[in-house]
Chain A
């Protein structure tokens, strides 16, 4: 309750953006401007009451503009008003579908879309908005055509604008260009008072001010033609449009419904996910609950003549930045919007269309910015191919075909990269994720993934990961999984962030052997025959290890050609073949490394990956093996050796197994200080060799956090042993 003022304030700031955006998005879809406001008001109230997310703002969304525009212009064969009524019916039905999706807990649906395909779809939407609104921004509101035509007409419009436009159009175009400049340079102006009002609202304020200037002060008439101003019905509340359900069994209509449902669900789910990362209180949104609320709000909005409702990322982030803490800010945003529309109807009618178009041109450009393409190219060429396919198919056909092609091309690329189709078809339906709590004192969650992990079966991994409280330690092991795609890598990165922000720890291991074509952390990774790729691009774990090495003044090398000589000295490795040594961290006497070795041969062969530390000692230690009861997975057959007790330390003897054959030597080696050290630190398995000690971790690779702990353990152990030796 004490947060109420904060939420009222942020609701107010958001409504300042929502007003011009709502009007603009509605106009861009050829719907009556008020439809955008209705949608924002209805959704703000409904989702604030029923929703499952915390700091999101709902309203008309960018993504829908393209779908709604084509629906309104084509459903009634060009009759815009009738088309709008049909589209309203489609909106109501798609709201019903979303409601059902929410009840069926289909919030996971968005996980089945490859992220590059979604990026491509969003970029296509951006281009669609940009192409249409660019003309409007320059004062040419009546240019029609599909996206490609509109793009090709841009040079013409520019030429017309500078050579032969009348005064009204030229002034309108000027207003548009100035508005665009405001949008672009607004973030660069660092003035607190100026920044109090968001850029879109500045545009509204300035254009309304200009209108007053011409009305009262200037001797000239208002130079912009009435047709280029916003039209709002005289009485907002009584002139509501009502949906027309006569076409509901037409194929066109069904396609529209599917497209609206698809885009609004994806846009909402992506936004909710993104906003959750911004939430200052680190809450987890109930996406299914949100989906239900959005669906219900969309239905009501459609009946009242409003556009459909989605969760919007830009407005939500403004909401968070202005201190919102709960859903009430969404409610207040709706309230302020309603007040604005009722009180300032006359002023709103003064806003020229090009000013709003400028806002949309800017949004469209942001969605399709060349910067995004460069980013995707950095992740990998294949991602760019997916992105461009989805983008182009969407522009040339429609959204649904576009996203389907995006999914298809992703799958084909995966098959080509893996050079096997059966690998995917055979394993796609099999469960591939195992999660359990490791049975040691740290109680890490261990998640092992086998076969492959891509957008096709990511939901299986996700459903397991979602069960882990974010303040726990998690290790995700991909060493048995030979193919991990970009969608998974990107999503895992989101988990890393959310675990970090909530005090947990999330780490991915077992990818060091997987090759990637680029150095980007989200690049697709697969086990490949050519070793060259694997060594060139370091995984996130390897990069962290490098950083640790620098911090501790150790040296780091990702690959070692030959195994260490000293490993052969340990009886443990007598029966094992060392396959690879990787990620070597080394200082003066300690060497930490990942080792991959095999046990047995042919069919009985088992590959084991582990992390170990070797400590070199000046004087040879006695032969011993130290372990804790039930702790260790390594199997040792030390027939004839007994569990030794160190005198005076009954607790130590009880907790540890100490094997060795020379009791006297061992007792001399285990001084009181050393015993105390072992008692008070984490347990590791320690073996002695002729020239040093080998400290072993579990039979899996250690996470970066664990490696740090091991390194620290080894250095301190070395210090104590050296001290003891010098006393002797």
Chain B
């Protein structure tokens, strides 16, 4: 689909049985132009995968993940999360892996005011064209603090409503500008919508994706996070703790 080479990594010792199994799986799948490379390596999963990413110059890391972390904390809780945080490339977290391909019909992209956003939106159009998705919604999350009016009574409520209106118009224009920079042929055949939502950054977009039943959520890569961010989660941490849908993190 993307004309890319697939690299499969299995963390663990190479055995005959495992190899046969993997080859069997690959045979069932659609044939690709480029040869599939299967690597076997032992070690801690996070380190091995990160290492391979670096060595092989990987552009996109695909991980299976489970929706809620508490159930299989081990997997998404440590490995997938750690990988997501540290991977040098873009990461695609799949929660809805199924044998029959479910068509992806609706992509939700973040439209944060961030230098990375332009690239993220550009990527999402590229992905949309590649997988034949017909709808993209760009969500501008506006933080409460930006409104700068504390709502106490009718007067301040009116002021806050006007301020919100103004911010969402401004955000709309900003996103429109970003959209204008994208090639027309990339946008062809895709219906584009923008939606401003007010709420906790990172959290609201996941909730929104659930409400509109998006098939793929595309987000900016987070800045470096530390322990404090995990205790007081924000942005991408919310998404990671409860994946609303398949998530692509663009780096």
Mark A residues whose CB is within 8 Å of B: 52, 105, 283-289, 422, 426, 430-431, 433-437, 439, 446, 448, 450, 464, 466-467, 469, 477, 480, 600-604, 606, 608, 629-630, 633, 635, 637, 699-700
Contacts and interface: CB of A to CB of B under 8 A. Distances in A.
Interface stretch (B121-129, B145-153, B181-189, B218-226): B145-153
Contacts of B208: 434, 436
Interface string B178-211: 0000000000000101011111100110011011
Q: Nearest 4 A-B pairs (CB), nearest first?
A: A286-B152, A434-B207, A436-B197, A286-B153
A656 B145 CA distance: 40
B93 to A, nearest CB: 13
A606 B213 contact: yes
A252 B134 CA distance: 69
A164 to B, nearest CB: 60
Contact of A435 (B96, B154, B199): B199
B137 to A, nearest CB: 9
Given A467-B157, A630-B191, A630-B193, A603 B98 contact: yes
B227 interface: no
Nearest to B191: A630
A446 B196 CA distance: 12
B70 A435 contact: no
A306 B98 CA distance: 73
A422 B71 CA distance: 12
Contact of B102 (A439, A604, A633): A604
A439 B157 contact: no
Contact of B152 (A288, A439, A477): A288
A478 B210 CA distance: 13
Contact of A52 (B98, B152, B203): B152
A448 to B, nearest CB: 5
Contacts of A700: 211
Contacts of A289: 152-153
Given A434-B211, A603-B96, A467 B153 contact: no
Nearest to A451: B242
A469 B153 CA distance: 10
A434 B195 contact: no
Of the listed residues B95, B164, B198, the one surrounded by the most CB atoms of chain A closer than 10 A to its CB is B198
Nearest to A426: B70
Contacts of A286: 152-153, 156
Given A286-B152, A469-B157, A637-B103, A450 B213 contact: no
Interface residues of B, number: 42
Given A431-B204, A633-B106, 8 more contacts: A284-B153, A434-B199, A434-B207, A446-B211, A466-B157, A603-B96, A699-B213, A700-B211
B108 to A, nearest CB: 12
B105 interface: yes
A635 to B, nearest CB: 4
A603 B72 CA distance: 14
B97 interface: yes
Contacts of B197: 434-436
A480 B200 CA distance: 18
Given A285-B153, A426-B70, A431-B203, A604 B195 contact: no
B212 A633 contact: yes
Contacts of B199: 431, 433-435, 464
A289 B210 CA distance: 38
A437 B169 CA distance: 13
B54 interface: no
Nearest to A448: B211
A433 B207 CA distance: 8
Of the listed residues B97, B208, B213, the one surrounded by the most CB atoms of chain A closer than 10 A to its CB is B213
B160 interface: yes
Contact of B203 (A285, A430, A480, A601): A430
Contact of A284 (B154, B200, B211): B154
A439 B157 CA distance: 22
A431 B200 contact: yes
A608 B106 CA distance: 15
A446 B197 CA distance: 10
Contacts of A433: 199
A600 B215 CA distance: 12
A435 B200 CA distance: 11
Nearest to B244: A450
A422 B238 CA distance: 18
A434 B153 contact: no
B32 interface: no
B78 interface: no
Of the listed residues A435, A436, A464, A602, the one surrounded by the most CB atoms of chain B closer than 10 A to its CB is A436
B41 interface: no
Nearest to A439: B195
B126 to A, nearest CB: 21
A436 B160 contact: no
Nearest to B67: A603
Contacts of B97: 603
A600 B97 CA distance: 11
A97 to B, nearest CB: 20
B238 A430 contact: yes
Nearest to B98: A604
Contacts of B161: 467, 469
B198 A435 contact: yes
A436 B242 CA distance: 21
Contact of A635 (B106, B158, B193, B207): B106
Contacts of A284: 153-154, 157
Contacts of B211: 434, 446, 448, 477, 480, 700
Nearest to A603: B96
A448 B153 contact: no
Contacts of B151: 466-467
B4 to A, nearest CB: 24
Contacts of A437: 196
A434 B102 CA distance: 27
Contact of A480 (B191, B210, B241): B210
B103 A436 contact: no
Given A284-B154, A606-B213, A608-B213, A434 B98 contact: no
Contacts of B105: 635
A283 B153 contact: yes
Contacts of A603: 67, 95-98
Contacts of B195: 436, 439
Contact of B238 (A431, A467, A601): A431
Interface in B224-250: 238, 241-242
A305 B164 CA distance: 47
7 contacts: A286-B152, A437-B196, A448-B207, A467-B157, A480-B211, A600-B96, A635-B105
A450 B207 contact: yes
A602 B98 contact: yes
B47 to A, nearest CB: 28
Given A284-B154, A604-B98, A467 B198 contact: yes
B246 to A, nearest CB: 10
A446 B208 CA distance: 11
A434 B244 CA distance: 14
A646 B102 CA distance: 34
A722 B208 CA distance: 41
Contacts of A435: 197-199
Contacts of B134: 635
Nearest to B245: A606
Contacts of A436: 195-198, 208
A544 to B, nearest CB: 24
A687 B186 CA distance: 31
A469 B160 CA distance: 10
Contacts of B160: 467
A439 to B, nearest CB: 6
A499 B152 CA distance: 17
Contacts of A604: 96, 98, 102
Contacts of A105: 150
A52 B152 CA distance: 9
Contacts of B67: 603
Contacts of A450: 207, 210
